Amino acid sequence: MSGLGKKYNILKAASWYTVGNILVKGVSFFVLPIFTDLMSTTEYGIYSVYLSYVTIFEVIILLGLSSTVRIAKFDKDVDFKKYMSTIICIPVLLTLLGMLIINGRFLIVNSDLLSMNLTLWNYLLVTCAFAAVAGIIGAQLVIESRYKSYMAYSCINTLLNVGISLFLCYTIYRDHDIHMSRVIGQCASGVISCLFLLFITRSKPVITGVYFRQSLRWGIPLLFHTLATIILTQSDRIVIKYMDGYSAAGIYSIAVTLIMIPLTLHTSIENAWAPWFYKKLEEKNYKEAYKINNLYIIAFAFITGCFMIVSPEIIRLFTNKDFWDSMYCLVPLSISVFGEMLYCLPANIEYFNKKTTFIMWGTISATIINIILDIGFVFIFGYVGAAYATSLSKLLLFAFHYFLSKRIDRNSVFNNTVAICSIIVLWLVNFGTITMIEHMLIRWGVLFFFCIIVAVYCLIKKNSIMEHFKS
């Protein structure tokens, strides 16, 4: 049973996701100067490390279940409604167990755990529980192409997070522990926005034994895959904190925050592209998938390159001088976003064929290499080295999943030469931008030149491009 209707419009969906995500993320970017003025690099570093722990523990509590939604949706033997009702119960049960263990531990041993006190741990667990449930329901909205509902949830979550955090910054936590305003703001917004999702989807938490067991069989390998992915993304800040201090972690975290600009675009396109790609795999229409995926790779490589060239000005625009060194991290980190986009191509083949064990081992391999690279690069080059370690690891993540997916389905869904040439060009752009980082006019002149070339090419090929859009 297909998870999509015949009238699914990938361009319309991508437009909604892109515009909506730009507006949502734009709020966070525009208030970033306010938070960087209110918080020192050390204070910002404390919050960023806490955020890394939130991300990791959310994945543990989620048990990979949000990724099983797309599998269940396209499985004709699954009662999708009962499946969803079952899996939203699991993160809540795990959170209650976690709170009992953590609070019991602090009663016995009155000392911090992973540099966090009991208050932070309780906020973390509550935040993770509601974020996990929201992640499951959000995955349902995406695969069912209910992009308006999904964007409404994203708006509520972001606006409440920023609003509550700023209110607390200027009132209760004005003169001390400013990071707590961000912690509480994130927790409160997560709870409210999750309740909104439960209401609009009429989700009722009821456990069905057969789907409880099935979800764990699918989800646990994906837990290790997702956990490895998060560690791959978050380990850099934790390594920097222990090897270079909270201040360095704070500076690096600004680059991680601003890399959300191209990452938001990728997420928007991926949310629209994944249901379409699943349908092509279901129809075995590899020819059309091949054509569109090649265009996708080229277009996203161009967008990534443009972002790299202007990223120093983005850093100067959104932060004060204390954080400007983060531009040396933002440029190479951009390649990691392109690597993540490439990785989605083979990974979705693995998801479609329910080969969750393949997904797990590919990602774990890349994560182990990333941790080794993080430690080595940070030791040699300082916190800037973590950006290069992350980018190399994301490209390895793509390579591992590409070779694993070929063991499942040998049909080509994109051109290897296009992908490899795009990677090489982006590394050249990276080193060129770093070399000319203080020469804005030269960089922007190169950007203008490439934009003219792309525009001329589009005019020459406008008929074939329009055919792709129509199809």
What is the 8-class DSSP label of residue 323? G
Distance CA 153, CA 176 (A): 31
Residue with tokens 């991290």: 329
Q: What average pLDDT does the segment 293-309 reach?
A: 90
What was the pLDDT predicted at 9? 63
What was the pLDDT predicted at 14? 66
What was the pLDDT predicted at 10? 65
Q: Is the dihedral of CA 162, 166, 169, 171 positive or negative?
A: negative
What was the pLDDT predicted at 466? 67
What was the pLDDT predicted at 2? 47
What was the pLDDT predicted at 97? 93
Q: Would you state the structure tokens that stand for residue 465, as one six-digit string? A: 């491009």
* Residue 445: how many other CB atoms lie within 10 Å: 13
What percent of the chain is modeled with pLDDT above 90?
24
Query: Which of 69-78, 235-244, 416-425, 458-467 comes out lowest in average pLDDT?
Result: 458-467
The highest-confidence range among 25-39, 143-157, 183-197, by mean pLDDT, is 183-197
Q: What average pLDDT does the segment 41-61 reach?
A: 81
Residue with tokens 């690099």: 41
Distance CA 249, CA 268 (A): 28
Burial letters for 448-462: b for 16+ Cβ neighbours within 10 Å, e otherwise?
A: eeeeeeeeeeeeeee
pLDDT band at 30 (very low <50, low <70, confident <90, very high): confident
pLDDT exceeds 90 at position 133? yes
- Closest listed residue to residue 257, CA positions, set 48, 21, 43, 54: 48
What was the pLDDT predicted at 1? 42
pLDDT band at 188 (very low <50, low <70, confident <90, very high): very high
Alpha helix ranges (H) inside 39-117: 41-62, 65-73, 80-87, 89-108
196: left (phi over 0), alpha (psi -120 to 50) or beta: alpha
pLDDT band at 7 (very low <50, low <70, confident <90, very high): low
pLDDT band at 222 (very low <50, low <70, confident <90, very high): confident
Q: What average pLDDT does the segment 69-87 reach?
A: 88
Q: Would you state the structure tokens that stand for residue 9, as one six-digit string? A: 């419009």
Query: Which of 82-96, 125-139, 152-166, 306-320 comes out lowest in average pLDDT?
Result: 306-320
Tell me the per-residue pLDDT of 366-420, one tens digit each, with 9 for 90 and over. Answer: 888 888 888 888 888 888 888 899 899 889 889 988 888 888 888 888 889 999 9
Q: What average pLDDT does the segment 105-133 reach?
A: 87
Q: Would you state the structure tokens that stand for residue 354, as one six-digit string? A: 């329910």
What percent of the chain is modeled with pLDDT above 70?
93
Q: What average pLDDT does the segment 126-131 reach?
A: 93
Report the chain's mean pLDDT, rounded to a whole number: 84
What was the pLDDT predicted at 105? 86
- Note the pTM of the prediction, 2 decimals: 0.68
- Which residue type occupies 173? Y
pLDDT band at 3 (very low <50, low <70, confident <90, very high): very low
pLDDT exceeds 80 at position 21? no
What was the pLDDT predicted at 264? 81
- Closest listed residue to residue 241, CA positions, set 252, 225, 226, 230: 252
Distance CA 161, CA 186 (A): 5
Q: Would you state the structure tokens that stand for residue 212, as one six-digit string? A: 């409880």
pLDDT band at 465 (very low <50, low <70, confident <90, very high): low
What Cα–Cα distance (Å) separates residue 140 from each residue in 36, 66, 426? 35, 8, 34
- Decide: helix, strand or coil at residue 116: strand
Distance CA 137, CA 420 (A): 36
What was the pLDDT predicted at 468? 60
The highest-confidence range among 10-14, 162-166, 257-261, 288-292, by mean pLDDT, is 162-166
What is the tally of helices (H) and strands (E) in the chain? 18, 0
Q: What average pLDDT does the segment 164-176 reach?
A: 87
Q: What average pLDDT does the segment 320-345 reach?
A: 88
